[in-house]
Amino acid sequence: MSVATPYFDRLFAENDDPWAFRQRWYERRKRALTLAMLTRPRYAAIFEPGCANGELSVELAARCDQLLCCDTATAAVNLARNRLLGVPHAQVRQARLPEQWPAGQFELIVLSELCYYLDADDLCRVIERALASLSDDGQLLACHWRPPIEGCPQTAEQVHALLEQRLGMSRVASHHEHDFLLDLWCRDGTSVASLEGLR
């Protein structure tokens, strides 16, 4: 069973930054690596589900024309909205996935520290919805903490294996460390150098 919304409500009731996204060098470095993994300088539209308090969101906003974020926890949505004040092309919604997947098409979907909270059935539905809403040259980036998390139905390894199996897209970049997995899949498997005519 996927982790229910009250779990996240409790986390944010006690702390506006429950994973210390702002304070920890680990988190700041991981965000920098996530952004460096992206093969394009700018995207038309990005979707970031599970945006939490918006620390990654504000950096994704600098790389796109339209950013849509969502989270299931009310407090997280309010925090992300405050973090993105003054960014008119960014929108934050309250939504529970996979049931409330948004309409629209995206060049990039970012699944960061989200999918191990989903059971395999819900993750398969998320993958189906992502595939349906990605543009013809769309990309999907996934980043997940590797150590098991109590109460989570899946590990990072299980999540990324299922993504690899179900996406049917080229994995164009990978960065795996002891602590986390970071992978980027793309419908167009062209390398960065090829895109700039260097190959």
Amino acid at 195: L
Distance between start and end Cα atoms, the chain = 47
Residue 3 to residues 82, 107, 109, 118, 119, Cα–Cα distance (Å): 26, 28, 21, 6, 8
Length of the chain: 199
The CATH number that applies at residue 13 is: 3.40.50.150
pLDDT digits (tens, 9 = 90+) for 26-39: 999 999 999 999 99
pLDDT digits (tens, 9 = 90+) for 92-114: 999 999 999 999 999 999 999 99
Three-state SS at 91: strand
Domain that holds residue 121: 5-195
The residue ranking higher by pLDDT, 8 or 64, is: 64
Report the sign of the C-alpha dihedral through residues 194, 56, 128, 161, in that order.
positive
Q: Count of domains in the chain?
A: 1
pLDDT digits (tens, 9 = 90+) for 51-66: 999 999 999 999 999 9
Predicted pLDDT of residue 15: 82
In percent, how much of the chain has pLDDT > 70?
Answer: 98
Give the global pTM: 0.94
Alpha helices in the chain (DSSP H): 5-14, 25-37, 55-61, 74-83, 120-133, 156-167, 192-195
